[in-house]
């Protein structure tokens, strides 16, 4: 019997995003939709990496793909006139069509990709809402639910919290008196397929993965560490993958609207 190998790995935030993107692309639903379906990649930091992995094209400024972000210690929104429009793929080809119009044609085999801001151990995902009409997810989720379409939620384990429902029930744009940056609500999502680093690693190699630790300093803030066990061949696959991923450049947002129109709890000059 082949002896199994054990390794311990650490990924910083940008490396995790790249890993998750590589894993998502290998999902069977994605591969099927690339052949004969629709894929919408909503705005988001991890989704910018997914766009690159799906299309093979580099976004020169991935920071222009998200709308709402936690940035520089506060909740912010990027300037709408500088954002990169959501990418829509039809049978693998990019089309110049508004994503909301494309959703009218969605069926059970089509894929919508939307990241999250919080994840708990029960698999609930929290999406922060700076828009009082619930933004992208507010428009997309009812259609996805109604038609049984595929929702993929890429989210790093840095975003693990105790309870998404507990947080969501206490939040709301009008329920909060003040905030650091934008006041926000939260939508609790328990529909769709959650993609963390663990699922991505298992998509890319036949291995066992255990989440071992979180955090660090010196550029490893928000990092995640994992124990990986498998055959020498499969563990070597992971090592080769990490050679490509390690050293991924940090993602910076340059198009923040600051100060925003709301009084910030701690004003920034």
Q: What was the pLDDT predicted at 264?
A: 79
Q: What was the pLDDT predicted at 1?
A: 64
What are the structure tokens assigned to 201, written together?
Answer: 């690693």
One digit per residue, pLDDT tens: the chain, 269 residues?
678 999 999 999 999 999 999 999 999 999 999 999 999 999 999 999 999 999 999 998 998 998 999 988 888 888 888 999 999 999 999 999 999 999 999 999 999 999 999 999 999 999 999 999 999 999 999 999 999 999 999 999 999 999 999 999 999 999 999 888 899 999 999 999 999 999 999 999 999 999 999 999 998 999 999 999 999 999 999 999 999 999 999 988 888 877 677 777 776 55
Q: What is the DSSP string of 89-109?
A: EETTEE----HHHHGGG--TT
Question: Could you tell me if 65 and 47 are in contact, meaning their C-beta atoms sit under 8 angstroms apart?
Answer: yes
CATH of domain 14-196: 3.40.50
Q: What was the pLDDT predicted at 258?
A: 72
Q: What was the pLDDT predicted at 165?
A: 98
Phi first, then psi: what are they for 77, rounded to 5°?
A: -125, 135
b/e map of 246-262 (b: 16 or more CB within 10 Å)?
A: eebeebebebbeeebee
What are the structure tokens assigned to 135, written together?
Answer: 């933004």
Phi first, then psi: what are they for 263, rounded to 5°?
A: -65, 125
Q: pTM value?
A: 0.94
Give the sign of the dihedral formed by CA 103, CA 108, CA 110, CA 111.
positive
Q: What was the pLDDT predicted at 2?
A: 75
Q: Where are the beta strands (DSSP E) in 143-249?
A: 150-154, 185-189, 193-195, 208-214, 224-230
Q: What was the pLDDT predicted at 268?
A: 59
Which are the contacts of 147, defined by CB distance < 8 A and separation ≥ 6?
106, 107, 108
- Starting at the edge strand found earlier in the chain, the sheet holding 5-11 runs 5-11, 224-230, 208-214
The CA-to-CA distance between both ends of the chain, in Å, stands at: 64
Q: What was the pLDDT predicted at 266?
A: 74
Q: Bridge-partner residues for 93, per DSSP? A: 90
Q: What was the pLDDT predicted at 65?
A: 92
What is the total residue count of the chain?
Answer: 269
């Amino acid at each position: 019997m082949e002896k199994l190998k054990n390794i311990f790995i650490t990924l910083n935030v940008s490396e995790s995003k790249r890993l998750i993107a590589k894993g998502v692309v290998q999902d069977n639903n994605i591969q099927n939709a690339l052949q004969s379906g629709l894929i919408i990649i909503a705005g988001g930091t991890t989704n910018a990496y997914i766009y690159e992995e799906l299309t093979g094209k580099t976004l020169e400024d991935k920071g222009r793909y998200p709308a709402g972000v936690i940035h520089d210690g506060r909740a912010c929104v990027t300037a709408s006139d500088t954002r990169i429009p959501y990418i829509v793929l039809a049978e693998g080809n990019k089309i110049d069509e508004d994503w909301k119009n494309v959703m009218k044609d969605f069926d059970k085999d089509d894929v919508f990709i939307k990241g999250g801001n919080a994840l708990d151990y029960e698999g609930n995902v929290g999406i922060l809402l700076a828009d009082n009409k619930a933004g992208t997810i507010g428009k997309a989720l009812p259609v996805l639910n109604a038609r049984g379409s595929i929702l993929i939620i890429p989210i790093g384990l840095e975003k693990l919290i105790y309870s998404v429902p507990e947080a969501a029930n206490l939040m709301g744009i009008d329920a909060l008196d003040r905030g650091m940056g934008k006041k926000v609500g939260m939508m609790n999502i328990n529909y769709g397929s959650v993609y963390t680093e663990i699922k991505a690693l298992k998509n890319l190699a036949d291995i066992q993965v255990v989440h071992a630790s979180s955090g660090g300093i010196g550029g490893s803030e928000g990092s995640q560490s994992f124990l990986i066990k498998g055959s020498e061949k499969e563990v070597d696959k992971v090592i080769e993958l990490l050679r490509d991923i390690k050293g991924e450049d940090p993602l910076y947002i340059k198009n923040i609207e600051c100060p925003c129109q709301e009084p910030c709890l701690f004003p920034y000059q």
